Amino acid sequence: MAKYLLLIFIILSAASFFVSNALLVVKTDHLADLEEDHQELSESYEMMVGSQQLYIDELKNLSMSLSSLKSERDKLEEENLRMGELNSSLDNSLFGLENLLGVEHQTNIDPLRAEQLTIEANKRLFFLHSIPNGVPIQAIRISDKFGPRIHPVKKKRVVHQGIDFKANRGTPVYATADGIVEYGGYNKRSGFGKLIILQHNFGFKTYFAHLDAIKVKSGEFVSKGQLIGNSGNTGMTTGPHLHYEIRHLFTAINPEPFLSWNITNFDSLFTKVKGVKWASLKEMYPLNQHSQLLQ
């Protein structure tokens, strides 16, 4: 009996082993299939995520490009607006320059016209810096003019070779054109006292006499409007003032037309002042304001 039971147990165990082994093989194969499917799904998911991220990056790049384009467009619109305002301002400035120069107006100011106006303005400014003009001092008044007079100290009739500006002692005195200091010191023989002589272009000189103080030295270059001294009462004088002369090739000429000479009445000097041969300047500057340059 025991033998039969043992045989049955062995048969059942063997059957159970083979069945379990078969099931294990099936489960293993199924698990392998599942793992393979999982791997494929994982790879597909990663591809999908990668593609999505690529789309996101592309969208970001596109958004940045659109933003950049909008910024560039806004800058261009601002630049166009600014250029329009600049052109309008430039047109107004050039029309104003025509008025300042006293030349004939043109309806349209093109680049050539603008260049001509600029050349004309620069020429005038060059001469206004080279030839004495304007007042040398902020004076109380003109106390004596150019021409014959009774000398206040000598008490005899002489030619007054300059203009006297009544001014308090210490009033600043300025150069009326670019130049070089020919002399700066006390000149006893002339009666001018402390005197400054400046040399300018085209044979002009200016004299500043009866000074209280001299701010420049001989040989020094000076520019128009530069402080050169202070008015005083030195030399042969009866009171504090500035004696101012303009000379051309050693000949004194009336300074009065030069006092009011400026860029707006530029051509007037060449007709008012007869002692200078202005015609010889024509090679450097067309004295006729209606010259071909500005027609």
Q: Give the tens place of pLDDT for each residue, 128-172.
A: 999 999 999 999 899 889 877 666 666 667 788 899 999 999 999
**Model confidence pLDDT, tens digit, residues 6-51:** 556 556 555 555 555 555 555 566 656 666 666 666 666 565 555 5
Span 130-255 CATH architecture: Distorted Sandwich (2.70)
- Both structure tokens of 117: 């106006």
pLDDT digits (tens, 9 = 90+) for 88-131: 444 456 666 666 776 666 666 667 777 777 788 888 889 999 99
The residues spanned by each domain of the chain are: 1-94, 130-255
